Amino acid sequence: MTVVVLTGATRGIGRAAAIELARRGAEVALVGRDPERVRSVAEEATAAGGGGRVHGHVADLALMSNVRILADEIRGRHEHVDVLANNAGALFASRKETPEGFEQTFALNHLAPFLLTNLLRDRLAGGRVVTTASGAHRSGRLDLDDLQSEKSYSPRVYGTSKLCNILFTRELARRAPELNANCFHPGVVRTGFAKNENGIWKVIATLGAPFLRSPERGAHSLVWLALSDDAAALTGKYIEDEQVVAPSDQAQDDNLARSLWEQSAQLVSLPADARS
């Protein structure tokens, strides 16, 4: 049975993907930060009728300490993970730091999947890593001297974090040939992901909802990359609507990908052999 670990599983495309993965018979480990939502989605996924076990993990992935606890929980339960779907992410209207001192967009959208993947790498051999990126990466501009957005903060920070997802995916594919690493743009999806903010972002998310993709459609590429035989040979690719697409020029910069990896590894205190 295929074992899938899915972060950001309680809303939007994460919830839709959890239900569809379970319906197709996968054993699904759901990750979310709200215990009640984790329980509710686990029940929905179980009711989908695929027969695989569904269980939940509660973690705030903006905190690297929680990422480490989650990795320990998964390692304690699973000798092998077939698919790690790094789907958790958010848009924040203003700059805030986590209690660990990281800018929260960078922490949740990039450092968390980077760290979790590295902590589970030995469990993933022969498996797949699927990371939710975004077409918004094309508006991002990565400054290696300002990863924490201390010089300036704007909506572009979200796009930059999605750019980091693609750079991470491509560098992971280079460093870890024993697994398949890909990322995807889900389309502009009707989710609650900007509604935790006040002001213009909440208004845009609410008014634009009728014109956006359903979460179920947005989850297609995630499920396809996780389970499809057609995706089995892909690695280091950026996907839109189940098709390989060229990302932005900066997202294809191998030196930038390498440098981001090395700096990220230092920030989350990975061993030296994971940094270069």
pLDDT tens, 67-89? 999 999 999 999 999 999 999 99
Q: For residue 191, what pLDDT is reported?
A: 58
Tokens of 85: 């779907």
Give the pLDDT confidence of 120-157 residue by residue, as tens digits. 999 999 999 999 999 999 999 999 999 999 998 988 99
User: Which of 158, 184, 193, 201 is flagged as catalytic?
Assistant: 158
Q: Is residue 179 part of a domain?
A: yes
The domain in which residue 116 lies consists of 3-188+215-274
Q: Is residue 61 part of a domain?
A: yes
Q: What percent of the chain has pLDDT over 70?
A: 90
Q: For residue 86, what pLDDT is reported?
A: 98
Q: Is residue 208 part of a domain?
A: no
In the predicted structure, residue 202 carries a pLDDT above the cut 80: no
Query: Mean pLDDT lowest for which of 40-44, 187-191, 263-267?
Result: 187-191
50 in Cβ contact with 23 (< 8 Å): yes
CA distance 117 to 162: 16
Q: 97: pLDDT confidence band, cut at 50, 70 and 90?
A: very high
How many structural domains comprise the chain?
Answer: 1
Q: Is 129 left (phi over 0), alpha (psi -120 to 50) or beta?
A: beta
Which CATH number do you get for residue 10? 3.40.50.720
Q: 201: pLDDT confidence band, cut at 50, 70 and 90?
A: very low
CA distance 39 to 17: 16
**Which of 192, 226, 188 lies closest to 17, judged by CA?**
226
CA distance 128 to 235: 9
Give the pLDDT confidence of 166-191 residue by residue, as tens digits. 999 999 999 999 999 999 999 875 55
Angle at the Cα of 265 from the Cα atoms of 259 and 269, rounded to 5 degrees: 150
| Residue 128: strand, helix, or coil | strand
Single-letter amino acid code for the residue at 131: T
Residue 157, H or E segment:
helix 156-175
Give pTM, 2 decimals: 0.92
Q: Is residue 39 part of a domain?
A: yes
Q: Is residue 147 part of a domain?
A: yes
Q: For residue 95, what pLDDT is reported?
A: 95
Q: 271: pLDDT confidence band, cut at 50, 70 and 90?
A: confident
Please tell me which residue, 152 or 272, carries the higher pLDDT value: 152
CA distance 251 to 75: 31
In the predicted structure, residue 205 carries a pLDDT above the cut 50: no
Q: What percent of the chain has pLDDT over 90?
A: 84
User: How long is the chain?
Assistant: 276
Told to judge if 238 belongs to the known catalytic residues of this protein, a careful annotator would answer: no
Q: For residue 195, what pLDDT is reported?
A: 47
Burial class of residue 230 (count of CB atoms within 10 Å of its CB; 0-12, 13-18, 19+)? exposed
Q: Is residue 209 part of a domain?
A: no
210 in Cβ contact with 217 (< 8 Å): no
